[in-house]
Amino acid sequence: MKALQLAARGDPCEVVRLVEVPDVGAPRAGEVVIDVEASPVEPTDLAIIAGTYGYLPPLPHLLGAQGVGRVAAVGRDVDYVREGDRTLVPLLSNAWAERVKTDVPWLRPLPKGDVGQLSMLGIDPPTACLLLTEFVRPRAGEWVIQNAANSGVGRSVIALARARGLRTVNVVRRAEVVAELTALGGDVVLVDGPDLARRIAAATDRAPVELALDGVGGESTQRLLDAIAPYGTVAVYAGMSGEPARVSSPNLVYTSQCLRGFWVVTWLRRQTSVEKVASLYRECAAASTPYPIAGEFGLGEHAEALTVAAKFRGKAIFKPNG
């Protein structure tokens, strides 16, 4: 069976290699074998390769944070998917391979759709969904602010917020994506800058905003804090700027605001309700929004795919089975 393996931490084009590994074999009781149809190169994958992610298995190890495929075989006592169903590859299950075997009981058949888009359901949409519920629960008509609005999480926030009747202020770092995010349903789209809080106040008619979502870090974190109400919360889920969040401790004290971190992997590991996870992914599939795809690649084209992915102008999608 062909798969992509990480030999060392470093430059993706130098440390990722195509290898032949033993097939996953037949499923035992409670297990499912999935033929992988598509798996994107995610920031998660690049962080694992660089050695900066929160989960780093011992080297060498196989790669692929998420994906989608067809159920090839099911073991005894599996009644939640059947052979031939299209389903997700669970997070961190080494989806850059021809097949995976898993015993995750929350898997469900996916609706019809583009296989490349479906392959991106595993990380960003549930992150977006949980960011809107785990810390503050905005009510219909209320505002949520987010930066990194052009990211996979950001696009999912727009779709899920609209489905719930919420309004969004979407902060980006490039003016050329403003029109695109507006067309996707973003109520307000602004380019980040020092006067961000003033412009958000004007756009929302000074509405008291209780929740902001931070995927950038650096100085942008404090700008989100400046834009929300006293006792409001900024939920931090990524640091795309590569810089640590810079915040004013006195301001946090005087406004009683809160910074909360969030990682979907931790949430899934702590979750004991199978149906709650399955319901989460059903909502995500129903409210999914397309993300630009930069190209599709075989496993043998991994250097090209990783180069494309590092530009962050669309997803590179591996098609392990051609």
Q: What is the reported pTM?
A: 0.94
Residue 242 pLDDT exceeds 90: no
Task: Report residue 196 as tokens.
Answer: 């961000």
Helix and strand numbers (H, E) in the chain are: 12, 15
The confidence band for 312, taking pLDDT boundaries of 50, 70 and 90, is confident
- Give the mean pLDDT of 202-206: 98
Q: Annotated catalytic, 291?
A: no
Q: Helices 124-131 and 152-163 sit at what angle, rounded to 10 degrees?
A: 50
Domain-by-domain residue ranges, the chain? Answer: 2-120+291-318, 124-265
- Give the mean pLDDT of 179-200: 97
Residue 288 pLDDT exceeds 90: no
Give the Cα separation of 47 and 25 in Å (integer). 30
Residue 62 pLDDT exceeds 90: yes
The confidence band for 71, taking pLDDT boundaries of 50, 70 and 90, is very high
For 99, residues 6+ apart whose C-beta sits below 8 A from its C-beta are: 1, 23, 24, 33, 34, 35, 36, 69, 72
- Give the mean pLDDT of 240-251: 91
Q: What is the mean pLDDT of the chain?
A: 96
For 164, residues 6+ apart whose C-beta sits below 8 A from its C-beta are: 132, 138, 140
- Give the mean pLDDT of 168-196: 96
Q: Which CATH number fits domain 124-265: 3.50.50.60, 3.40.50.1000, 3.80.10.10, 3.40.50.720?
A: 3.40.50.720
Task: Report residue 170 as tokens.
Answer: 């979407």
Q: Looking at 53, 231, 237, 281, which residue is catalytic? A: 53
2-120+291-318 CATH: 3.90.180.10
Sign of the CA dihedral running 163, 130, 154, 6: negative
The confidence band for 322, taking pLDDT boundaries of 50, 70 and 90, is confident
Residue 200 pLDDT exceeds 90: yes
Residue 289 confidence (pLDDT)? 83
Residue 313 confidence (pLDDT)? 87
